[in-house]
C-alpha cells in the first residue's frame, strides 16, 4: 500500500481529483484548508475585521465552509467577525431537521446564528405556498424567495458580505447549463468568485448611521475551486455534523442531467471539473458587457444560487414557467388599470407585517406589497432594456424589471389567498 505523497509516512487515504496525488487524511485536510486560504488571499476576498455572514443550510457545503473559515480565521488572525445565517423556508420535516444541524454547528464552532424565515419576510412559509399552489412549480417560489432572503437576513444583522458554499461542481454545472442554453452573458456571474458587488447607484438606500441595506450586500463563494468530492471527504475526515436529505417537495428533482454529466466526466477524467470552470472563466472574458452582467441584477443570479439550495436544476428548468407567470400577472395588472377588474387591494398579510415591524429595528426588511404607483412610472420602467439594473418599485430589491420576481410571485399568492383569511389577518392589525 503506497504511503502519503506529502508526509511519506502515513497510509494514503485520498486520491485528489485535480492532481491525482495520493495523500493521508491529515495531509489532505491541511492541503484543503491551505488551498481555500490561498483562494481567499489571492482574490482579496475579505477586509481585515470584516463582518461576514455564512449562508448556512446545515448541508455539507455550508457546514464545511463554516468550519474552514472559522479554522482559517483563527489560524491566520484575519479577525473576521463570522456569523451563521440560515433561511427557514418553513418546510416541516425537512428544514426543521437541517436547522437542528446548523444549531449544533453554531455551538461547536462558537459562532452566533441568525435564522430568518420566509414567513416573517414574505408572510408565506413554503408549506403555506404549497397548500396554495400545489407541489408543482413550488421550487420557483422557493428559489426566488431564497435569493432575497439571504440579503435581507444579512441586512438585519448589519452584515455587508454573505458567503455561500457553492463548490467547483456547482460552478461547472452552471457553466454547462449556460452553454447548453446559449446564455453566455450569465457565464461571468457563474464563474466569478464575487457574484454581486455593492453598487454605488443604490448606496442612497443604505440606512442611517451606515446601516447595511439589503440592496447592498456583497456575495461570494470561497469554495468555488473545491471539488464536491473533497468537500464531502473533508467533512468525513474532520467528522463534521451535517444533514443531507432531499427536499420533501422535490424528491424527484434529486439531480439534473447536467449534474449527472459532470459526475460522469469526473469518473472518466477528474480534472474535467476544474477545466470546465476555467473554460467558463475564459469564455466569460470574451463576452461583451460581462462587467455589467457581473454587477447586474442580483435577481438573475437566481439560477446559479438555486444550486446550493434544494440541490436540483429547478431554478433553470422552470424559467418558462416563471415567464408565463409574470406574463399572466402583467395581464391582470393591465386589466386592472383598464378598469376591467375591480378588486379591493389589501396590504399583503397585514397582521404579519405589523407584528414584524414591532419586533425588528430595521423596518426596511420585509417585503410588503405597496400601493400601486402611477402608470407613468411603470411605463418608464417597462421601456428600459431588460438587462439594465434597477430597483423593484415595490420592495426596492435589485431587479432588471420594474417589479422583482419575488413581488410578482407574492402578488399572485396574495390575490389567490382566500378572502376570509385576509379579513382575519386584516382585523388583527
Partner 1 sequence: MERNIPLTVEFTGGLEMLFSNQRVHKISIPARDDRKEPSNVGFLIKHLCDNLMKDPRKEMFVIDDSIRPGVLVLINDADWELEGEDRYELQPNDNIVFVSTLHGG
Question: Could you give phi then psi for residue 162, rounded to 5 degrees?
Answer: -115, 130
Are 169 and 188 in contact by the 8 Å Cβ rule? The answer is no
Residue 363: contacted member of partner 1, Zn ion, none (CB under 5 to 8 Å, by partner type): none
Which residues 146-185 are close enough to bind partner 1 by CB under 8 A? 169
Segment contacting partner 1 by CB under 8 A, of 9-17, 209-217, 355-363, 405-413? 9-17
The contacts of residue 168 (CB under 8 Å, 6+ apart) are 223, 224, 225, 226, 227, 228, 273, 274, 277
Residue 299 binding: pick among Zn ion, partner 1, none (C-beta 5-8 Å cut-off by kind): none
- Please choose, out of 60-68, 177-185, 402-410, 415-423, the segment that lies near partner 1 by the rule CB under 8 A: 60-68
Q: How far apart are CA 53 and CA 212, in angstroms?
A: 13
CB 247 within 8 A of CB 126: no
Judged by the rule CB under 5 A, the positions of this chain that interact with Zn ion are 4, 6-7, 10, 24, 27, 392, 394-395, 397, 404, 407
Site string for partner 1, 93-112 (x = CB under 8 A): -----x--x-----------
Candidate list 22, 161, 356, 405; residue touching partner 1; CB under 8 A: 22
For partner 1, give the closer residue by CB, 264 or 337: 264
SS3 366: coil
φ, ψ at 50 (rounded to 5°)? -65, 145
Angle at CA of residue 315, ends 380 and 321, nearest 5°: 60
| 12 is an interface residue for partner 1 by CB under 8 A | yes
CA nearest to 262, candidates 393, 381, 168: 168
The 247-266 site mask, x for binding partner 1 (CB under 8 A), equals: x------xx---xx--xx-x
CA 266 to each of CA 104, 227, 276, 279, 372: distance values in angstroms, whole numbers, following the listed order: 33, 10, 11, 16, 51
Q: How many residues does the chain have?
A: 429
Work out what residue 361 binds among Zn ion, partner 1, none; the CB cut-off runs from 5 to 8 Å by kind: none
- Binding partner at 312 among partner 1, Zn ion, none, C-beta below 5 to 8 Å by kind: partner 1
> Should residue 309 be labelled a site residue for partner 1 when binding is judged by CB under 8 A?
yes
Closest to partner 1 by CB, 62 vs 70, is 62
Which strands sit side by side in the sheet containing 113-117, from one edge to the other? Answer: 113-117, 81-88, 51-55, 161-163, 218-220, 194-196
Binding site for partner 1 (CB under 8 A): 1-2, 11-15, 22, 25, 57-63, 98, 101, 169, 228-229, 231-233, 236, 242-247, 254-255, 259-260, 263-264, 266-267, 308-312
Amino acid at each position: 500500500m503506497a504511503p502519503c505523497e506529502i508526509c511519506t509516512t502515513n497510509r494514503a487515504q485520498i486520491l485528489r481529483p485535480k492532481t491525482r496525488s495520493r495523500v493521508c487524511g491529515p495531509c489532505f485536510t491541511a492541503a484543503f484548508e491551505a488551498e481555500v486560504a490561498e483562494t481567499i488571499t489571492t482574490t482579496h476576498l475579505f477586509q481585515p475585521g470584516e463582518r461576514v455572514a455564512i449562508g448556512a443550510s446545515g448541508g455539507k457545503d455550508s457546514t464545511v465552509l463554516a468550519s474552514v473559515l472559522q479554522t482559517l480565521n483563527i489560524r491566520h488572525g484575519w479577525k473576521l467577525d463570522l456569523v451563521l445565517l440560515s433561511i427557514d423556508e418553513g418546510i416541516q420535516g425537512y428544514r426543521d431537521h437541517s436547522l437542528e444541524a446548523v444549531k449544533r454547528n453554531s455551538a461547536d464552532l462558537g459562532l452566533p446564528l441568525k435564522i430568518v424565515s420566509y414567513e416573517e419576510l414574505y408572510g408565506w412559509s413554503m408549506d403555506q405556498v404549497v397548500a396554495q399552489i400545489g407541489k408543482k412549480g413550488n421550487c420557483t417560489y422557493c428559489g426566488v424567495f431564497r435569493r432575497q432572503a439571504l440579503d435581507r437576513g444579512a441586512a438585519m444583522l448589519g452584515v455587508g458580505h454573505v458567503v455561500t458554499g457553492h463548490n467547483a461542481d456547482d460552478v461547472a454545472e452552471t457553466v454547462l447549463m449556460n452553454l447548453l442554453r446559449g446564455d453566455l452573458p450569465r457565464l461571468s456571474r457563474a464563474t466569478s468568485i464575487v457574484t454581486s458587488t455593492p453598487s454605488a447607484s443604490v448606496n442612497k438606500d443604505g440606512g442611517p448611521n451606515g446601516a447595511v441595506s439589503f440592496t447592498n450586500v456583497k456575495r461570494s463563494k470561497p469554495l468555488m475551486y473545491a471539488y464536491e468530492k473533497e468537500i464531502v471527504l473533508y467533512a468525513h475526515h474532520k467528522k463534521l455534523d451535517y444533514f443531507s436529505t432531499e427536499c420533501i417537495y422535490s424528491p424527484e428533482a434529486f439531480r439534473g442531467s447536467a449534474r449527472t454529466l459532470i459526475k460522469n466526466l469526473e469518473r472518466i477524467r477528474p480534472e474535467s471539473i476544474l477545466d470546465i470552470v476555467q473554460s467558463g472563466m475564459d469564455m466569460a472574458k470574451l463576452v461583451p458587457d460581462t462587467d455589467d452582467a457581473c454587477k447586474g441584477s442580483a435577481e438573475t443570479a437566481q439560477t446559479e444560487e438555486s444550486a446550493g439550495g434544494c440541490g436540483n436544476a429547478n431554478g433553470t428548468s422552470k424559467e418558462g414557467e416563471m415567464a408565463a407567470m409574470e406574463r399572466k400577472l402583467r395581464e391582470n395588472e393591465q386589466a386592472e388599470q383598464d378598469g376591467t377588474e375591480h378588486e379591493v387591494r389589501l396590504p399583503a398579510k397585514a397582521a404579519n407585517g405589523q407584528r414584524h415591524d414591532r419586533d425588528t429595528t430595521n423596518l426596511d426588511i420585509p417585503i410588503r406589497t405597496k400601493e400601486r404607483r402611477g402608470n407613468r412610472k411603470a411605463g418608464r420602467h417597462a421601456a428600459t432594456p431588460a438587462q439594465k439594473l434597477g430597483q423593484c418599485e415595490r420592495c426596492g430589491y435589485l431587479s432588471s424589471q420594474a417589479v422583482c420576481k419575488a413581488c410578482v410571485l407574492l402578488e399572485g399568492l396574495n390575490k389567490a389567498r382566500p378572502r376570509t383569511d385576509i379579513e382575519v389577518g386584516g382585523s388583527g392589525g
